């Protein structure tokens, strides 16, 4: 057979395959060249290897198109470009805040010893950051924050797990948890001082009461929105009680639980700052104590510098939670591509 001879195949009325070599294919047949390449198809069944690969190739092209749609928004820059894309909005925000701050100082609403400007605060801040005593105060505050938040996570996890699954406890304590969450943390300090005196335990007590309800509510919300099909699948796999929580409920409720953790940290940080302003413990320097004495001494530059440190710590912790949230969304396939 010549190399350019065209072979036609088809299925006749009896169900048998018809093959022709004269270059004309019967109606409803597939034209195939001598090297096995399909040249045209109307109807019928193709009997070549190329035709067998056609559905797989079409499926691959469809997947490639979907991948192109998903990956089309990704940035083509390297790590430096991504870091710059993240930093320049923050730098712009800082520049705007500094400009507004300086404009307020120039407006003269308050004397400079009451409301110092950026030029007066920056040297004081740098000077304090170079002293070991100031870093010791930061360390005391962070130790209190981590300790109180860790206890709050354990308490919120236990309470949230029980209330979310036991109907009687939900009816009895569901609204109480929300009420505790909305209660201002400063209102707890008179009771805390009566119970524990002017000690670190009073501060920790208020931090736990401020953070634990938010964490518990985050877990309760996550459990409430767990798809029932996952619970049924867990029962089919033989999971009961603790195993069901560990392998099904907790993973499914992670997004809401993470949001509860983030909100719980915000409440814990605010409660801690309020506690350190109210409960002054001798020989234990902290950021709240620094704020208290700067106010007493009318040291505006020192007070604002400490407030900046508190703000930066809060932003840093928020970035950690944001990284955890981004990692979780990427793992679940919910992360949006960057422009």
Tens of pLDDT, residue by residue over 92-142, are: 988 999 999 889 989 888 888 888 889 899 999 999 999 989 999 999 999
* Mean per-residue pLDDT, 25-31: 46
Could you give the CA distance from residue 43 to residue 36 in angstroms, rounded to a whole number? 18
Q: What is the pLDDT of residues 245-255, one digit of tens each?
A: 777 878 888 88
Residue 173, pLDDT above cutoff 90: no
Q: How far apart are CA 311 and CA 332, in angstroms?
A: 31
Looking at 68, 95, 122, the residue that finishes a domain is 68
CB 9 within 8 A of CB 47: yes
Number of domains in the chain: 3
254 vs 306, which has greater pLDDT?
A: 306
Is 337 part of a structural domain of the chain?
no
Per-residue tokens: 123: 């040297």
Domain range enclosing 84: 77-103
Over range 334-339, report the average pLDDT.
54
Question: Cβ atoms within 10 A of the Cβ of 179, count?
Answer: 11
Cα within 13 Å of Cα(61), Cβ side: 6
Q: Are residues 50 and 187 in the same domain?
A: no
- What pLDDT was estimated at residue 7? 43
**Is 1 among the domain residues?**
no
Residues 54 and 137 placed together within one structural domain of the fold: no
Tokens of 202: 């009073």
> With contact defined as beta carbons under 8 Å apart, do 266 and 131 qualify?
no
User: Do the bridges between strand 6-11 and strand 38-41 make them parallel or antiparallel, or are there none, so unpaired?
Assistant: unpaired
| Domain identity same for 283 and 191 | yes
E-only strand ranges, 56-186: none
pLDDT at 245: 75
Q: Are residues 88 and 142 in the same domain?
A: no
CATH number at residue 308: 1.10.3720.10
- 51 shares its domain with 127: no
Structural domain ending residue among the three candidates 52, 85, 103: 103
Check residue 255 and give its pLDDT.
Answer: 85
Between CA 187 and CA 184 the distance in angstroms is 6
| pLDDT classification of 194: cutoffs 50, 70, 90 | very high
Is residue 338 in a domain? no
pLDDT number for residue 77? 59
For the range 140-145, what are the long-range contacts, defined as Cβ-Cβ under 8 Å and sequence gap of 24 or more? 140/284, 140/285, 140/286, 141/272, 141/276, 141/286, 141/287, 141/288, 142/313, 144/200, 144/203, 144/204, 144/207, 144/272, 144/276, 144/286, 145/207, 145/268, 145/269, 145/272
For residue 311, name the pLDDT band (cuts at 50, 70, 90): very high
- Roughly how many angstroms between the first and final C-alpha of the chain, as a whole number? 57
Element (H, E) at 17: strand 17-20
pLDDT classification of 208: cutoffs 50, 70, 90: very high
Check whether residue 162 and residue 53 sit in a common domain: no
174 and 314 belong to one structural domain? yes
The confidence score (pLDDT) of residue 89 equals: 84
Query: What is the reported pLDDT for 150?
Result: 94
User: Residue 52: its pLDDT value, please?
Assistant: 53
pLDDT of 330 higher than 90: no
Task: Give me the pLDDT at residue 53, please.
Answer: 56
Given this model, what pLDDT does residue 303 score?
A: 92
The fraction of the chain above a pLDDT of 70, given in percent, is: 75
Residues 182, 293 within the same domain: yes
Question: Of residues 286 and 76, which shows the higher confidence score?
Answer: 286
Task: Flag whether pLDDT at 57 surpasses 50.
Answer: yes
Do residues 43 and 81 both lie within one domain? no
Does 30 share its domain with 51? yes
Residue 171: pLDDT band (50, 70, 90) is confident
Percent of the chain with pLDDT over 90: 27
Whether 51 shows a pLDDT value over 70: the answer reads no
**Does one domain contain both 251 and 115?**
yes
Q: Which residues pair with 31 in a beta bridge?
A: 8, 40
| Any domain includes 88 | yes
Q: Are residues 136 and 276 in the same domain?
A: yes
């Amino acid at each position: 057979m010549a190399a350019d001879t065209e072979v036609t195949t088809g299925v006749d009325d009896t169900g048998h395959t018809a093959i022709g070599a004269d270059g004309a294919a019967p109606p409803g047949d597939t034209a195939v060249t001598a090297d096995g390449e399909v040249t045209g198809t109307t109807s019928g069944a193709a009997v070549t290897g190329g035709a067998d690969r056609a559905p797989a190739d079409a499926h691959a092209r469809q997947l490639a198109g979907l991948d192109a749609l998903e990956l089309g928004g990704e940035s083509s820059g390297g790590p430096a470009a991504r870091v710059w894309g993240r930093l320049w909005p923050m730098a712009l925000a800082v520049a705007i805040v500094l400009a507004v701050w300086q404009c307020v100082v120039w407006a003269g609403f308050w004397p400079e010893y009451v409301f110092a400007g950026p030029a007066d605060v920056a040297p004081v801040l740098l000077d304090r950051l170079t002293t070991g005593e100031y870093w010791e105060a930061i360390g005391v505050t962070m130790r209190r924050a981590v300790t109180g938040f860790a206890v709050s996570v354990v308490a919120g996890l236990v309470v949230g797990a029980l209330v979310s699954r036991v109907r009687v406890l939900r009816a009895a304590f569901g609204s109480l948890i929300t009420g505790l969450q909305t209660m201002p943390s400063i209102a707890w300090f008179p009771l805390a001082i009566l119970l524990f005196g002017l000690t670190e335990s009073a501060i920790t007590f208020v931090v736990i009461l401020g953070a634990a309800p938010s964490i518990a509510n985050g877990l309760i919300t996550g459990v409430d929105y767990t798809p029932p099909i996952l619970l049924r699948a867990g029962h089919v796999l033989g999971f009961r009680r603790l195993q069901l929580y560990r392998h099904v409920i907790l993973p499914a409720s992670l997004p809401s639980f993470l949001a509860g953790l983030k909100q719980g940290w915000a409440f814990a940080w605010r409660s801690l700052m309020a506690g350190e302003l109210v409960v002054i413990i001798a020989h234990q320097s902290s950021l709240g104590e620094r704020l208290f004495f700067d106010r007493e001494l009318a040291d505006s530059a020192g007070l604002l510098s400490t407030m900046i440190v508190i703000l930066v710590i809060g932003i840093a912790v928020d970035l950690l939670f944001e990284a955890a949230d981004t990692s979780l969304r990427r793992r679940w396939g919910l992360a949006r591509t960057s422009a």
